[in-house]
Chain A
Amino acid sequence: MNESALLKLKVIVERAVRPVQATISRKKKMREELLANVTGVFEDELPRCGNEATALIQVEKRFGDLGELSRTLQQSVPNNDVFNRSVERLIKPRIGQSLVQRAGLCGMIVFAFNLILVQPLFYLIIVLHGGEIGIFSDGNWGYWIGMPIHSVFWGIHAFIGTLLANRLERLLFGTSERSLSTSTSFAFLVTYLLLVLPGAFGTSHGMSWGTPNLHISLLGLSLFHMTLIWVANLISSEKLYRDEWSQLQID
């Protein structure tokens, strides 16, 4: 099958799936499965019809009314999808939104999630079992007071992480800015920021880099780098997928 036939089959699928209100992952599943179906039908019909144009007409005919299909697909979307979709809508990149704005939004969401859900849970654990584990006991209020600061800390990390992952995505998987040397310099910079600066800070506060500490830090750093590359890869494949389907002209 050639590219133009595949594109036309994608248009048929997209006409049915685009109007469906569902999460990206659910629509992705629908698109891929329906595309596999129409591709199979096309391959069945092509030898019978003798030419692509007639085979495509047959595919559409066998597929049924696309408006009706959209409606039945919508009915098959479970109710819990509404919540997932609203969360998704919050973090989904918007047209005209800069990377800094997106990273800021991501940081704010992580901050709010931490403050509203995670911290109260910690408070509850501390109130119930704090005495047993030595927190929230007399003279140990620092833990309790310091907890909201953790929300800010995670928010900042999410902000920086989003910036780094997006930058890395362009450097490793992007079409125009791909550069191995810049990616390597970028990795060194991240290493410097995460390892050397906190190390210097720690030393100035009377801490020293012993071998076990260094090993743990290097392991943590490798994990951080791998996570960053993994997230960058996810962003890249998500971008490719979005471009592939959203640019189809279905009218």
Chain B
Amino acid sequence: MIIWFESRIVFCLTINYKSVYDNRMSEITGDKLRGHLETMILSSLEKGETHGLEILRRLEEAGCGLLKLKEGSLYPALYRLEAQGLVQAVWEEEMHGRRGARRRFYRLTSKGNRALNTGREEWVVFARTIGGILGAPA
């Protein structure tokens, strides 16, 4: 776990250094995220159940500011995950003084956990393969 955090810090610092000083790193948006969004959502829910906006915050935070999601795109992905039984959703019972609509809290199911592990394995293979082709090993 500690090694994972350290590697994340190093990764974020490297990315930020590159984006600020090199100005060549572009934001990760739309098409580049296609196919990975659902696994990323599952990964963000590993930290515990939460609502859509918080999932977005967690993803953007984990993406070190480079990940730019159009917020609306999260919900169709969540509905697909829910239909597949990978996440479970419940409406919040108390508004805690907030105005407006109720939020839905999403929780990772055991099936979702398995899908996340599979997604991670697939990503490793994908990154290794493409990295090998591009001459930039992951």
Please tell me if the beta carbons of B72 and A36 are within 8 angstroms of each other in the complex: no
Report chain A residues within 8 Å CB of B123.
none
Please tell me if the beta carbons of A64 and B73 are within 8 angstroms of each other in the complex: yes
Please tell me if the beta carbons of B99 and A36 are within 8 angstroms of each other in the complex: no
- Check if A41 is an interface residue, CB within 8 A of chain B: yes
- Check if B8 is an interface residue, CB within 8 A of chain A: no
A62 CA / B74 CA spacing, docked (Å): 12
Please tell me if the beta carbons of B102 and A64 are within 8 angstroms of each other in the complex: no
- Check if B83 is an interface residue, CB within 8 A of chain A: yes
Please tell me if the beta carbons of A64 and B72 are within 8 angstroms of each other in the complex: yes
Please tell me if the beta carbons of A39 and B70 are within 8 angstroms of each other in the complex: no
Report chain B residues within 8 Å CB of A36.
51-53, 100-104
Q: Hey, what's the 0/1 contact readout for A29-46 against B, CB within 8 Å counting as 1? A: 111111111011100000
- Check if A63 is an interface residue, CB within 8 A of chain B: yes
Report chain B residues within 8 Å CB of A1.
99-100
* Interface residue from A34, A39, A69 paired with B99 (Cβ < 8 Å): A39
Please give the residue numbers on chain B whose beta carbons come within 8 Å of chain A beta carbons, in ascending order: 51-53, 70-73, 75-77, 79-80, 83, 98-104
Closest 4 A/B residue pairs (Cβ): A64-B70, A39-B100, A35-B101, A69-B72
Q: Mind listing 5 A-B residue pairs with CB under 8 Å?
A: A33-B101, A36-B103, A40-B103, A69-B76, A73-B76
